[in-house]
Structure 1
Amino acid sequence: MKRLKILLVICATLILSLLQQITTTHSQSGFFNMSYIFFGSPSSYINQVNQTKGSLDVVSPNYFDVTEDGDLTVTWKLQTSFIEEMHRRGVKVVPFLANHWNVTAGKKALDNRDALARKVADAVKKYNLDGVNVDIEGIGNSYRDAHTDFIRLLREYLPADKEVSVATAANPNGWTTGWHGFYDYKALSKYVDYLMIMAYDESWESPDSPIGPVSSIQFFERSIQYAINQGVPEDRIVVGLPFYGRMWKLDGNSETAIGKKITGLGLSSNRVKPLIEKFSGTISFDKNTQSNFAEFTIPSGQSAFVGSTELTAGNYVIWYDDQQAIKAKLALPNEYGIKGTGSWALYHEVPEMWDYYTLWLNRLYFKDVAENYWASGSINRVAELGWMAGTTNITFSPKKTLTRAEGAVILVRALGENGLTPNEFQFKDTTGHWAQREIEIARELGLVGGITTTSFAPNAPLTREQLATIFQNIFKYPINYPINNGFPDVNTKKWSYHSIVALTQQGILGGYPDGSFKPTSSSTRADMAALMERMQSDFNRIRND
C-alpha cells in the first residue's frame, strides 16, 4: 500500500508538471500585443486599458520627454497608481521616450546620449517601470550610428529583465537617407527586445501627400518584409497598426472657416461613423488596398468639428481601417512568424474592435468554434478569405441554420462581386433587409431566384437541393453517364435532380449514413463553410476568368 501511494504521488507530480508545461507553452504561443497611450488625461488611462478587454501585454504611456537641450524630463502624466494597477493585472508599463519631432531636441539628446541613457535607466528603476520604448523621430540619417549607440547604452545600463524597444519608421521602399535612413534595423536588433515598426502614415497631413490609405495592406506587408530582409530576427519584429484615419476636403475651396486646409487631417477611427451618420455619407471598402474610405458632404450653412478644426460646407473623404481592414492586417504576423503587433494609439480606436482583435491575431477567430470541431479549419479559412463573417464579432454560430439571405451574401463575396450596385430592386420582402443589395446582385448574376417574382424569403432556410442547384448554376459541372444515383429520395423527376447528381459526382455533396440525400433538409453555417472551402479553387477560377 505504501508503495502504491508513492507511485500515485509520483504520477500526480508528473501530471502536474506536464500540465504546467502545456499551460506555459500555450501562453507563449500567443502573439505579443502592445499599444501607446498618449491621448486623454491620466485619470482616463485605466479605462482606456479596460476597453482592450485583456488584449495587451505592454502599455507604453508618454512618461519620458526629451527637452530642447537634450535632457530627460518625466512628464506630469506619470502616476504610480496606474503603474501598480497594470502590474497587478500582469501588464507591463514601458513608457516611450519622445522628442515629438523636435529635431534640435533629438540631436542634442543623441549628442549627450550617455548621460541621457543613465537618466532614463535611473527613472525606470525609480518608478518601477518595465523598460523604455525609444521614439525619436524626424532626424536625418547622419545620426544613424549615434541613435544605435544610444540604444546600446540603454541596454547596458538597464537591468536585463527590463525591456528596451525602439519605434522605427516603416521603410517598405528601402530608403537610406532622410529620417527613414535614421534607423539601422539590423544593428538596432542586436540590443532591443523588439522593433516597433510604425507601419502607418503611408499618406500624411500635407498638401504633398497623396489621398489614400493610412496603411494599405501592401504598405503594411512590405514594411514587415523589409525588416526581415535587413536581418532582424522575426521574434524581434512588432508591426504597428493605425487606430486613426486621415481626411481630405475634395472641393476647390479647401480651407476651413479658420483658414486651415484639410489635407490629410488625422482623426480618431471612432469619429468616422458619427460624421457619416450626421451627413448621410457612405462607407466603401477598397479591395486592392484592403482599406476603408468614407465619403460625405456637409451642406451649405452647416459645419462640424474634428478637435479644434471646423469642417465647413463641402465634399470630404476619410481613409481609415475598419474591421475588415484590421482583420486583414492581423493575419500577417502569423504568416511571417513575427513577434506580434503594436498600435498608435489607445483612445482612437473603435472599442468593439477589441472583441475580435486578440482572436484574429492568434488565428482563433471565433469563441464558439473549438479547434477540434469538425469544420473549424473550413470556418477559419472562409473567414480569412472574407467569404463568411461571424454572427457577431466573436461568434460564428456553426450550428445555426443557413438562411437564403446569408447564402446569397456568401456567394457574392466569394465571386468578388460585392462592390456592384443592383440595377433594380425586385423583391418586395427584402426592403430594409441587411442583405438586400447582395440578394439583388445575386439575382441579377443568375445565382439565386425568388420564391416568386417579387418575393425572396430572405430568412427562410437554404436547403441542400437549393444549394446544389445554385452551385451547379455557377460552375456547370459535367455529368458522367450512365448516372448511378443511389439516393432513394432523389428521383429523376425532381427539379434539382441533375444538380444533385453533378455535385455528388464531384464529391462536393454527399449523402447521409442511411443512404438518403435529404434534399429539403436545411444546411447549417458550418455545412456552408465546408462546402465553400472545398470549392475554393473553383471560385478562384471563376473570379480570374
Structure 2
Amino acid sequence: MRKGIIGNIIVAICILAMGFQYTAYGQRINTGYIYFGDKHKYQDAVNNTNDSLDTVYPSYFDIDQDGNLKITETLDQDFIKDMHNQGIKVVPFISNHWDRNLGRKALSNRYNLSDQIANAIKEYDLDGVNIDIENVNDADKDDYTDFVKILSEIISRDKEISVAVAANPNGWTYGWHGSYDYEKLAIYSDYIFLMAYDESYIGGPEGPVASISFVENSIKEILKYVDNNKVILGIPFYGRCWKEGDSYGGYGASLKRIEETVSKYLSDVVFDDRSKSVKATVYKNDGTYIYWYENEESIIEKIKLVEKYDLKGSGSWSLGQEDKSIWNYYSRWLDGEYLVDIYDHWASDSIYSMIDNEIMNGISNMYFAPNDNLTRAQAAVILTRLLEIDDEYVSSDSFDDVSKDYWAYNEIEIAKKYGLINGKEKNKFYPNDPITREEISAMLSRLIKDDYRDDSIEFNDVNDNMWSFDYINKMSSMDILKGYEGGMFYPNRNLTRAEMSTIVDRILKYNIEYIK
C-alpha cells in the first residue's frame, strides 16, 4: 500500500534527496492534460500558463490491440527535462480513448501492462502515471481496481499514481460510472482526478458542459469515499455547440476557438447565473448556433469550490484549448484571491479583511472596484453590517427617494432608525450620490460610542463653524480618518471603496464599541 506514516516519510526523504519540488499537505496544486497537437505544441501549452502548473499529464501512453503499452510519437525527452528544470512533474496519462474493447484488453493484461508502465517511467525519467481508462462498466470494476493496486505495488513510491474518474453527481453504480470503486482507488493512488464536465455531451440536448450544481454535486459524491486532500477538480477548457434546427449536436470546440467565433459574428453572449456558465447565440450566414462554454468568471466559480471543499487542487482538460489570458491570475484564484482589480492594490489587505468579515463585497465575481466612489447607500449597508443587525426588518419609508424595491432599502431604514444617517434635505437621502469624507465622519461618529476628541488637532480646511467639525475631530483624534500632507483634511472629497475598506479595517482592529 502507498499510505501510512512510514511510507510518507520515505516519500518525503526520496523527493528531497532528488532535489525535486515537494508539495506539502494542504498546499493546492494545479495540473493539466496535454493531448492536442504535436510535441512541439506541448511546450507552448505549458509556456502559456505563467508558472501556474505543478504537474502535466501528456499523451505519451496508449494501448495497443493486445492490451500492451504503446509509446506515442509525442514523447519528447527534451520536454521532460525542461519540465523538470521548471519544477513541473511529468505524469503521462494512459488512455483507451473511449474504446471499450481496448480498455478491457488493458485490464485483462494488467500484470504485463503494469510492468511495461513501470519500466517506461524509469526509462524516460517520468514522474508517474495517470490512468484514464473510460467507457468500461461496472462488470470491470474489480479488474480496474486491481490494475491500480498492481501499479501501486511495483512503481517507486516517489512516483505519482493518479486516476481520472467520471463526474457522478447522482451516485450511479452501473455503466461507466460503476467501473470506479472510489474508496479503493483512493487507497492505491495519490490523487483522484474528478472529470467534472460533460454534463452535456455530443448527441445530447443543449446545455452547459459543467453547471455549478453538476460540479458541486459531483464533488459531494466523491467526498463520500475519498479524502478531500486526494481530490483534484477537473475543469473543462472546451465548450459545445448546437445548431438550431439540427437533430444532432453538442460538438466540442476549444474555448479559444469559441471566443474567436463569438468575436467574428454577430452574437448574444450572456452569463447564465443559474448554471454559472456562458451561453452564446451566434448568428452565422448558414444559421443560428448555440455555444455553452467557460470564461474567466465561470472558471472562478469552479475554483471557489476547490476552496470551499478544501480539495487538493485543480486540473484541466486540456492545455492549449484555453484563452491564455486566464493564466494571468489563475494561481491567485487557486489561493482564494478572486478579485482581479485588487492584486497589488495599496489597500488590498484591508479589502480582504472586509471580504473575510462579510462587511464589503465585490461588485461582481471578479471586480471590487476599489477606486470607485463609495455611495451613500453602500455606506449605510456597511454601517448596519458593523452593527450586525442586517436581519432586522423595518418599514418606515423615511426617504421619498428610497423605494421598498431599492436594493439597500432595509439597511438605509435601519441606519436611520439607529440615528446613524440623515437625509441631505427633507425626506431625501440621495442613495446613489458619492459620500464625502465629512459625511462618513458624521456617520461613523454616530456609530462609535467613544466621545474622545483632541482639540490640538487642526486642519487648514476645517473650522469650528462647519457642521461636521466635531465629527471630523472625533474621527481624526481616534486615527480612524487621517489628514493629508500640508495639514489638509479635504472634507468635501469623495470617499473611494478602497478608502472605506481601510477606515473600517482600523475600526475592527481597535475593537471599538458600537451604539446598539
Normalised TM-score (structure 1): 0.69
In 1, Cα distance between equivalents of 2:294 and 2:183: 30
Instruction: State whether residues 166 and 194 of structure 2, in contact with CA within 8 Å, keep that contact through their aligned partners in structure 1.
Output: yes
Match of 2:103 among 106, 111, 120: 106
Match of 1:521 in 2: 493
Higher alpha-carbon deviation: 369-378 or 322-331 = 369-378
User: How far off is 1:477 after superposition?
Assistant: 3.2
Q: How does 1:275-354 map to 2 (within 5 A)?
A: 275-299=261-285, 313-354=286-327
Match of 1:479 in 2: 416
Match of 1:432 in 2: none
Instruction: State whether residues 198 and 240 of structure 1, in contact with CA within 8 Å, keep that contact through their aligned partners in structure 2.
Output: yes
Deviations 1:156-190 (A, max 9, x none): 11000010110101111000000010011001011
User: How far off is 1:524 after superposition?
Assistant: 2.0
Match of 1:236 in 2: 230
What is the total number of aligned residue pairs between the two structures? Answer: 422
Deviations 1:450-481 (A, max 9, x none): xxxxxxxxxxxxxxxxxxx9956973336358
Pairing 1:84–2:57 present: no
The one-letter amino acid of 1:272's match is I
Q: How does 1:394-409 map to 2 (within 5 A)?
A: 398=370, 401-403=371-373
In 2, Cα distance between equivalents of 1:180 and 1:213: 20
Instruction: State whether residues 382 and 388 of structure 1, in contact with CA within 8 Å, keep that contact through their aligned partners in structure 2.
Output: no
Could you say if the C-alpha distance between residues 503 and 246 of structure 1 is closer, same or farther in structure 2, counting changes exceeding 3 Å? farther
User: How far off is 1:136 after superposition?
Assistant: 0.2
Q: Percent same amino acid among aligned pairs?
A: 37
Deviations 1:460-519 (A, max 9, x none): xxxxxxxxx9956973336358x699x9xx998997699967787567xx8631599976
Pairing 1:199–2:136 present: no
Deviations 1:292-349 (A, max 9, x none): 11111113xxxxxxxxxxxxx1111111111111111111112111111111000111
User: How far off is 1:225 after superposition?
Assistant: 0.8
Please give the secondary structure, in 2, of the residue aligned with 1:479: helix
Deviations 1:364-409 (A, max 9, x none): 3453158982332225788996524667xxxx684xx3158xx699
In 2, Cα distance between equivalents of 1:471 and 1:185: 47
In 2, Cα distance between equivalents of 1:168 and 1:109: 17
In 1, Cα distance between equivalents of 2:165 and 2:138: 13
Instruction: State whether residues 34 and 59 of structure 1, in contact with CA within 8 Å, keep that contact through their aligned partners in structure 2.
Output: yes
Pairing 1:135–2:132 present: yes
Please give the secondary structure, in 2, of the residue aligned with 1:281: strand
The one-letter amino acid of 1:294's match is A
Please give the secondary structure, in 2, of the residue aligned with 1:373: helix
Please give the secondary structure, in 2, of the residue aligned with 1:341: strand
User: How far off is 1:32 after superposition?
Assistant: 1.0
Deviations 1:508-538 (A, max 9, x none): xx863159997632222324668999xxxxx
Q: How does 1:501-540 map to 2 (within 5 A)?
A: 505=446, 512-513=475-476, 520-527=492-499
Pairing 1:273–2:259 present: yes
In 2, Cα distance between equivalents of 1:344 and 1:330: 14
Q: How does 1:383-422 map to 2 (within 5 A)?
A: 387-388=363-364, 398=370, 401-403=371-373
Match of 1:225 among 220, 226, 230: 220
Match of 1:360 in 2: 333
In 2, Cα distance between equivalents of 1:375 and 1:333: 22
The one-letter amino acid of 2:142's match is D
Could you say if the C-alpha distance between residues 357 and 146 of structure 1 is closer, same or farther in structure 2, counting changes exceeding 3 Å? same
The one-letter amino acid of 2:210's match is S
Instruction: State whether residues 131 and 162 of structure 2, in contact with CA within 8 Å, keep that contact through their aligned partners in structure 1.
Output: yes
Could you say if the C-alpha distance between residues 239 and 389 of structure 1 is closer, same or farther in structure 2, counting changes exceeding 3 Å? closer
Q: CA RMSD in A?
A: 3.9
User: How far off is 1:278 after superposition?
Assistant: 1.6
Could you say if the C-alpha distance between residues 495 and 504 of structure 1 is closer, same or farther in structure 2, counting changes exceeding 3 Å? farther
User: How far off is 1:362 after superposition?
Assistant: 1.0
Please give the secondary structure, in 2, of the residue aligned with 1:241: strand
Could you say if the C-alpha distance between residues 271 and 43 of structure 1 is closer, same or farther in structure 2, counting changes exceeding 3 Å? same
Normalised TM-score (structure 2): 0.73
Deviations 1:132-174 (A, max 9, x none): 0000000111000000000001111100001011010111100
Instruction: State whether residues 382 and 529 of structure 1, in contact with CA within 8 Å, keep that contact through their aligned partners in structure 2.
Output: no
Instruction: State whether residues 390 and 397 of structure 1, in contact with CA within 8 Å, keep that contact through their aligned partners in structure 2.
Output: no
In 1, Cα distance between equivalents of 2:377 and 2:121: 53
Instruction: State whether residues 420 and 444 of structure 2, in contact with CA within 8 Å, keep that contact through their aligned partners in structure 1.
Output: no
Instruction: State whether residues 478 and 502 of structure 1, in contact with CA within 8 Å, keep that contact through their aligned partners in structure 2.
Output: no
Structure 1: 5+ residue stretches without partners: 1-23, 255-260, 300-312, 415-445, 449-468, 534-545
The one-letter amino acid of 1:110's match is L
The one-letter amino acid of 1:402's match is D
The one-letter amino acid of 1:105's match is L
User: How far off is 1:245 after superposition?
Assistant: 0.5
Could you say if the C-alpha distance between residues 266 and 514 of structure 1 is closer, same or farther in structure 2, counting changes exceeding 3 Å? same
Match of 2:211 in 1: 216
Instruction: State whether residues 241 and 344 of structure 1, in contact with CA within 8 Å, keep that contact through their aligned partners in structure 2.
Output: yes
Match of 2:51 in 1: 54
Please give the secondary structure, in 2, of the residue aligned with 1:201: coil
In 2, Cα distance between equivalents of 1:183 and 1:410: 50
Instruction: State whether residues 447 and 473 of structure 1, in contact with CA within 8 Å, keep that contact through their aligned partners in structure 2.
Output: no
In 2, Cα distance between equivalents of 1:85 and 1:314: 46
Instruction: State whether residues 212 and 302 of structure 2, in contact with CA within 8 Å, keep that contact through their aligned partners in structure 1.
Output: yes
Match of 1:40 in 2: 37
In 1, Cα distance between equivalents of 2:234 and 2:378: 31
Instruction: State whether residues 26 and 312 of structure 2, in contact with CA within 8 Å, keep that contact through their aligned partners in structure 1.
Output: no
In 1, Cα distance between equivalents of 2:132 and 2:359: 36
Match of 2:239 in 1: 245
Please give the secondary structure, in 2, of the residue aligned with 1:368: coil
Instruction: State whether residues 370 and 376 of structure 1, in contact with CA within 8 Å, keep that contact through their aligned partners in structure 2.
Output: no
Higher alpha-carbon deviation: 376-385 or 132-141 = 376-385
Could you say if the C-alpha distance between residues 91 and 382 of structure 1 is closer, same or farther in structure 2, counting changes exceeding 3 Å? farther
In 2, Cα distance between equivalents of 1:34 and 1:317: 30
